[in-house]
Structure 1
C-alpha cells in the first residue's frame, strides 16, 4: 500500500456551477469542477458562421417582438401549421399522457403524469452477487460493495433474455460522493482504507437479470442470478484495436500494454446489434494525482488538453491503495482510460474490452447503427466545452448469422470528426451542411505528424489539427431508428462569447443548450457529407431565441440542459436533462419529430431534489419507460446529517441513486389492466410502498 500524498492540492470547492443549474457539490464530485477550470481547447480553430449567427439572432429577436405586438405567433420566421396553432395546452402527447408542470428545484418528489405509476427496480447497495449482504448504510465494507449495486447510475440498457418477460439490465455507475456516503467525511485523507475501497468498488457497471409476470406488471431484479455481475474500478479489461500493446499504454504492472484495470466515470452508452453494451468513460482525469506541470512534448501537450496536469491530488485518494493512480509514478496509466468499453452481459466470465479504434476522449457514450452497405457506424460526443463530435465506420460488415464475427466489428475501422457549416439566415432556420473530417482511414493516419496510435490515444490533439467545429458540450449522440437521422444533445456552454457563436452553437453564455439533427447525405451513414438543423433550442419558451422545431412556443414545456436522448417506436424524441438552469428539477421530455405534434415538447416526469435524470429507455409496445435517478440530494452542504432527499422513499433515511420504471397505472397496452401503485403527491403515482409525503422539501 502506498501512503497518502499530502503534498498536493485537492480540487477547490466551487462557488457555483457556471453551466446550467447543477449544485457546486455535483460539479466537484461528477467532473472535478470542470466548468470552473480553464477551457482545455485553446486552439484558434475557426468558429463557423459568425456573421450568419449574428444576423440570425437579430431575426429571432425582431421576429419575436413583432409577433408579440401583432398578436401573432411565429417561430424562427416560419409560420406555424394550422394543426400546431390549434393545439391546446395540456393536449395529450403520442405516448398518451398529459404533461406535468415543472417542479420547483429542491422539491423532493418523483412526479409522473396522471395515469402513470413508478417503482424503483434497483438502488445503490442492493445485493447483486451471491453472498452479497443486504445494504446497511452504517456498516458498509469494500467487500460488500463489490457484490452490490454501484453508486450513481447513468446509462440504462435492457436486453431481452430469451423471453418477453425476462431481461438483463445493464447500468453505468458513474461516480461517488463521499459526503453523502460516509458519516463524518471531511476530506479524502479522512477516509479509511476500506472506505477508499468502497468508492473503488462503487464505480463501474452493474449487470442484473430481471423478470416480470406479464407485459403489464413491474420488472423485478433477481439476486444472485447467473448473469449478474459487478464491473468496478479494479476489474481486468482487455485492450482491442490498434493501440493494444503500444508503448503509450504500457505500465509497470502491465508491461505488455494489453490488460488495463477498471472503468470509472462511465456516463452514457448504447447497445449493439450483436447484443453487447457500450459504455463511455468520461470524466476520468480527476481520479489521478497529477504532475505539477506538463512536460514539453506531445505527451505533455496531451496531458494539458485532457486536464491531466496541474498538481491536483486524486479526488478519492485511490493512489493510497494503488500507485497506478499517481501519474507522477505511472504517467501512462491515464492513457488506459477515456475509451469506449464493451461488455457482453450474456457472458459474465468474459473480460470487458476497451475499444481503441474509437478514439480516446471524454466519451459521453456511443451508439451503433448498421449502414446500408452492412458496415456499422458509431456516433460519439466529447463532453467538454468547445469539444467535438465523432463518427466511427467499421472496416467489416455486420452478419445476421455470425455472432463471433460481429464481436470484432469495433476493432478496426475509420475515425472522423465533424465540421459544421451554416448556410445563412434566409431560410429562417439554424441549419446548414457539414463534413466528416478524416482522422484514421484504411489503417492510415490522416493527420500529419501523428501515427495511427497517436491519433487514437491523443484524439483531441489530432482533431484539433484538422479544425473541426467547437461545440457546446456534445453529449449523447444517437440514431433515430425510424427516420435514420442522428440527434445530438448539446448541453450548454456559458463560456462561449458573442465573438464565438456560430449557426450550430447560436448563443453566447449558453446556459440551456440545444438539440442537433444530422441527416446523412443520401441516407448513407458512411458518407463524408451531411446536412444539419437545430430542432430544439432550449430555455424558457417566452424567450424569442428558443425554438421548438416550428411549434408554438406558448404551448410547450420549458426545458434546460438536454443530456441524453432516446426514441420510442414511432420515432419520437425523448430527452433527459442534467442541470436545469430555469429553477426547476431535472426531468424527461417527449418531442415528436413528425406530424401534427412536431416540436410539441412536453414534460413526462420530474426527478427529486438535486438529482439528474439519466438513461431514458422507452419500450414502446408496453408503454414502459426506464430512467436512472443520479445523485439525489446532492446539494451544497448536504451530508449524512444534513439530508436533502430520501429518494427512493422505500424506508431509507439516506438518498440512494436508483433505476426506476414508469408505466400506465390503470391500463396496459391493448386495454389490459395493469397493477396499481399508491398515489403520490398531487395525484401522481408513487412507488408501491410508503406514500410520498407532500410536505417534503
Structure 2
C-alpha cells in the first residue's frame, strides 16, 4: 500500500513498539495487564469505557472549550471562587488535578488543583508599581494565588458536578504556608541550613503516591523567589500533601532533586522499591528517576513517605541506554579527571564546580549541573512522564526545543530492561511526533485510560498560536493516542481550548465516567482589562477571563 506520512507515523508507533516490546520481553499490552505496577488512579480499572465511541473534533480558533458530540462540562471552580467557610479562594492559573474518592465514591471526593503562577493584570489589576517594584501587598497576593487548592466536589442527581463550599477538608496550600525540607539536603549548608521553609509556588504538574497522598511539583520558581526575596534553594522541589489530613506536615522531598519539576510518576521495581520518574521542563534538560533504598510495605500506609528520604537519584544517558547514579563520589571523580571538560550547557568554570560540589546535598540542590557533569543526555523539554499501567513502559512528553529545530515536540516511549522499573538499562523509541502529519504540537501533560490509550494536552505558547508554522493547529487542545489496535499512534482530538489558553492536568474518576481538566490562562495576551482577548468561561457577572477546572461527562458504558 502507499505509505503517507501519517501511515508511517502509525507504523512508527505500532510496529516499532511491538518490536521493542518483544525485544525487551514485554509481550503485548493486553497480555501484560496482570503484571502492571504503575502507581496511579489506574489501579482498580476493570473497564474499557473511553475509547472507540467519540467522534474526533477539528482544530478551532473559537473562544470556547469544545468537546465531541455527546459530551458536556461543568465549571467546578474558577479563579477567585470561595472554596470554604473560612473564605479561602481558588487560586490563579490552575494546572495539575488529582481526584481522591470519599468512601470509594466516583461521584464524591476531593480534588487537588495546582496553581502555577500569578498575573499582574488579572490578579493585581495592573503591572508593577511606577518604580518597577511590587508592593508588599502585591507580593503577598501573588504568593497566595499560587500553590494549590483542596476542594470537595459532589455530582448531583442531575449529573452535574459542583463544589461544596461547606467542606471540612477544603483549604489552600500557598506560597505563604510553612512546610519542611526532608531528605538529603534538609538542614545542609546547600539550603542555608534550613529545615522549615516558607511556601510552595510555581506548581505545575504532580502525581499520586502509592499511599494515597499527592505530590505537587515546583517548576519555574526562580522569578517568584527573587520577587519575594526568598532563598531560591528552598524551591524547585517535589512537595507532598495529604488532602484529607491538615495535620500532616507538608514536606519537600530533597532526595528527589531540585530542578524545574514538571510531574512525578510513581511505580514499583520488581524487588518492591519505590521508583519515581521526573521530567525537567526546560530546554536541554534531562530525564530523571529516583529509586528508594528500602522496599514499599503497603500495610504501613502513609509511613511509606520515609522511603522518599533515602535512595538513589539517576539521570538518563540516552546514547548508552543507561541510568547514571547522581552521587557526590561520581561527581567529584569526574571533576578530578584531568581530561574533564565542562559541558557547554554549564556556565561555570571547573574550579567553581569543584568548590560547589562538596556533599550529596550539593548534588541534589544542583541536580541539573550534576547530571550534565556525569554525561546525562540533554533533551527537548521533558515535561510530563507517565507509566503505562499495562506493560511498565513509560512515556515522556518532550514538548519542543527550537534550539534543536524540534519545533513541535514528540512523545518518547522508554522500555526498561526486563520491564523492571528499577533497572539500570533501557531502550526507547519516538512513539509519536508533533507536526502537521499528526495534527498536534507541543505535547505536555499525559494520562492513560483503561484501554491503554494515551491522552495528551498541548502547550503551544499563546504568543505563537495561530501564527506561522503553528497556524494549522488552531488553539491548544487535548488528543487521544491509542497505544494498541488499528489506530495505534494516531492522534484524535478530543477537546479544543479557549483563546490563549492551554488545557492541563487531565485526571479520570476511577470508573472513568468523569474527566477533570484545567483550563489555564485564557486571555493571556490581554493588555487592557477593558479589551480582554478571551472571556471564557463566559459566566454571568464575570468581567474578565478566569482560569478554571471543569468536570467533563458523557462517557458511555
TM-score norm. by structure 1 comes to 0.67
Work out which of the residue numbers 491, 506, 519 in structure 1 matches 2:399.
Answer: 491
Q: Once structures 1 and 2 are overlaid, which stretch shifts more, 605-614 or 340-349? A: 340-349
Corresponding residue of 2:199: 262
Work out which of the residue numbers 523, 534, 537 in structure 2 matches 1:648.
Answer: 537
Q: Once structures 1 and 2 are overlaid, which stretch shifts more, 654-663 or 346-355? A: 346-355
**Structure 2 contact 14–489 (Cα < 8 Å) conserved:** no
Q: What pairs with 1:229-268 in structure 2 (closer than 5 Å)? A: 229-250=171-192, 257-268=194-205
Q: What pairs with 1:263-662 in structure 2 (closer than 5 Å)? A: 263-289=200-226, 314=227, 318=228, 324-325=229-230, 333-421=231-319, 434-440=321-327, 445-448=329-332, 450=357, 451-496=359-404, 509-541=405-437, 558-579=439-460, 582-583=470-471, 584-619=474-509, 621-635=511-525, 637-651=526-540, 652-662=542-552
Measured against aligned partners, the alpha-carbon deviations of 1:610-660 in whole angstroms (never above 9, x if no partner) come to: 01110011346333211100101001x533212111111221121110011
**Structure 1 contact 540–582 (Cα < 8 Å) conserved:** no
**Structure 1 contact 180–634 (Cα < 8 Å) conserved:** no
Q: CA deviation at 1:530?
A: 0.7
**1:344 to 1:420, Cα distance in 2 relative to 1, 3 A:** same
Q: CA deviation at 1:483?
A: 2.2
CA distance in 1, matches of 2:475, 2:443: 13
Unmatched runs of 5 consecutive residues or more in structure 2: 16-48, 333-353
**1:286 to 1:163, Cα distance in 2 relative to 1, 3 A:** same
**Structure 1 contact 73–79 (Cα < 8 Å) conserved:** no
**Structure 1 contact 632–657 (Cα < 8 Å) conserved:** yes
**Structure 1 contact 269–280 (Cα < 8 Å) conserved:** yes
Measured against aligned partners, the alpha-carbon deviations of 1:237-268 in whole angstroms (never above 9, x if no partner) come to: 11111111112222xxxxx5110101111101
Q: CA deviation at 1:149?
A: 0.6
Corresponding residue of 2:41: none
Unmatched runs of 5 consecutive residues or more in structure 1: 1-62, 82-91, 133-146, 251-255, 290-313, 319-323, 326-332, 422-432, 497-508, 542-556, 671-697
Measured against aligned partners, the alpha-carbon deviations of 1:263-289 in whole angstroms (never above 9, x if no partner) come to: 111101000110111111111111244
Please give the root-mean-square deviation of Cα atoms over the aligned residues, in Å.
2.4
Work out which of the residue numbers 86, 101, 114 in structure 2 matches 1:160.
Answer: 101
Corresponding residue of 1:217: 159
**1:268 to 1:176, Cα distance in 2 relative to 1, 3 A:** same
Measured against aligned partners, the alpha-carbon deviations of 1:89-108 in whole angstroms (never above 9, x if no partner) come to: xxx9825210000012xx31
Corresponding residue of 2:71: 116
**1:458 to 1:80, Cα distance in 2 relative to 1, 3 A:** closer
**Structure 1 contact 74–80 (Cα < 8 Å) conserved:** no
Q: Look up the SS of the partner of 1:114 in the other structure.
A: coil
**Structure 1 contact 399–405 (Cα < 8 Å) conserved:** no
**Structure 2 contact 410–430 (Cα < 8 Å) conserved:** yes
**1:191 to 1:114, Cα distance in 2 relative to 1, 3 A:** same
Q: CA deviation at 1:343?
A: 0.7
Q: CA deviation at 1:218?
A: 2.9
CA distance in 2, matches of 1:200, 1:183: 16
Q: CA deviation at 1:419?
A: 0.9
Corresponding residue of 1:307: none
CA distance in 2, matches of 1:279, 1:408: 17
**Structure 1 contact 483–571 (Cα < 8 Å) conserved:** no
Q: Look up the SS of the partner of 1:401 in the other structure.
A: helix
**Structure 1 contact 385–473 (Cα < 8 Å) conserved:** yes
**1:78 to 1:124, Cα distance in 2 relative to 1, 3 A:** closer
**1:662 to 1:72, Cα distance in 2 relative to 1, 3 A:** closer
Corresponding residue of 1:169: 111
Measured against aligned partners, the alpha-carbon deviations of 1:542-566 in whole angstroms (never above 9, x if no partner) come to: xxxxxxxxxxxxxxx5100001110
Measured against aligned partners, the alpha-carbon deviations of 1:365-407 in whole angstroms (never above 9, x if no partner) come to: 1111122211110000111101101000011211121114312
Q: Look up the SS of the partner of 2:368 in the other structure.
A: helix
| Greater fraction strand | 2
Measured against aligned partners, the alpha-carbon deviations of 1:37-70 in whole angstroms (never above 9, x if no partner) come to: xxxxxxxxxxxxxxxxxxxxxxxxxx9xx956xx
**Structure 1 contact 281–338 (Cα < 8 Å) conserved:** yes
User: Aligned pair count?
Assistant: 488
* Bigger-Rg structure (1/2): 1
**Structure 2 contact 290–314 (Cα < 8 Å) conserved:** yes
Corresponding residue of 2:30: none
**Structure 1 contact 120–660 (Cα < 8 Å) conserved:** yes
**Structure 1 contact 180–639 (Cα < 8 Å) conserved:** no
Q: CA deviation at 1:124?
A: 0.8
TM-score norm. by structure 2 comes to 0.83
